[in-house]
Amino acid sequence: MLNIQTLYQEAIRFAADRHLENNQTVKGTRLPYVVHLSNVAMEIFVAAMYTPDLDLGFSVQVALLHDTIEDTSTTFAEISERFGEDIAVAVLALSKDEKLPRDKQIPDSLERIKGLRKEVYAVKLADRITNLQPPPSDWDRFTLIRYRDDSRLILEAMKEGNRYLAERLKTKIDEYSKYIH
């Protein structure tokens, strides 16, 4: 069994390399996308302190890899071969299906997550917590409201997955409202 540091290093190097292929940055910033991924993993590390039965190795790898299928050329097969099928299934469930209309993408992903381990719920909560930073300056009021409402939908669907992260997300949603004028 590999230690958590090794699992983290292998996953973050793989994800960072893949997200660099298209010079992906954190939305609205010049920060490399790996900053977002490490922030999601940090939320998982902290949640593990409050959730003794959380499978930290699995959760951290999923946190670091969660956007590789959705945002890069990485395939399910590549993740499955390198990190295992359980992780690949989790990453695929966390990926929005771009073929669906925008308003169906999040509900579809949430339904796919519901059939999986609670750790996948935790990663979805951690991802949205991390995304609720000051929004890009070009977002209009409609976009801000939609993003907040999507966050509420995620909270409602995933709150049973991790009590600590659900409370964090609820607080972040409340704080996010200050950006809506």
Mean pLDDT of the chain: 96
Domains: count for the chain: 1
Give per-residue pLDDT as tens, 62-87: 999 999 999 999 999 999 999 999 99
Label residue 63 exposed, middle or buried (CB < 10 Å: 0-12, 13-18, 19+): buried
Q: How many helices (H) and strands (E) does the chain have?
A: 10, 0
For residue 28, the domain's CATH number is 1.10.3210.10
The model carries a pTM of 0.96
Task: Judge whether residue 161 has pLDDT over 60.
Answer: yes
Q: What does the pLDDT read at residue 170?
A: 98
Confidence of residue 28 (pLDDT cuts 50, 70, 90): confident
- Among 21-35, 114-128, 154-168, the range scoring the smallest mean pLDDT is 21-35
Q: In angstroms, what CA-CA distances link 117 with 19, 55, 162?
A: 26, 10, 11
Q: What percent of the chain has pLDDT over 90?
A: 94
Q: What does the pLDDT read at residue 9?
A: 97
- CA angle (89 as vertex; 88, 91 as ends), nearest 5: 65
Give per-residue pLDDT as tens, 43-55: 999 999 999 999 9
Average pLDDT rounded to a whole number, residues 140-148: 95
Q: What does the pLDDT read at residue 1?
A: 57
Confidence of residue 27 (pLDDT cuts 50, 70, 90): confident
Task: Judge whether residue 61 has pLDDT over 80.
Answer: yes
Contact between residue 118 and residue 129 where contact means Cβ atoms under 8 Å apart: no
Average pLDDT rounded to a whole number, residues 134-153: 94
Range of the domain at 170: 4-179
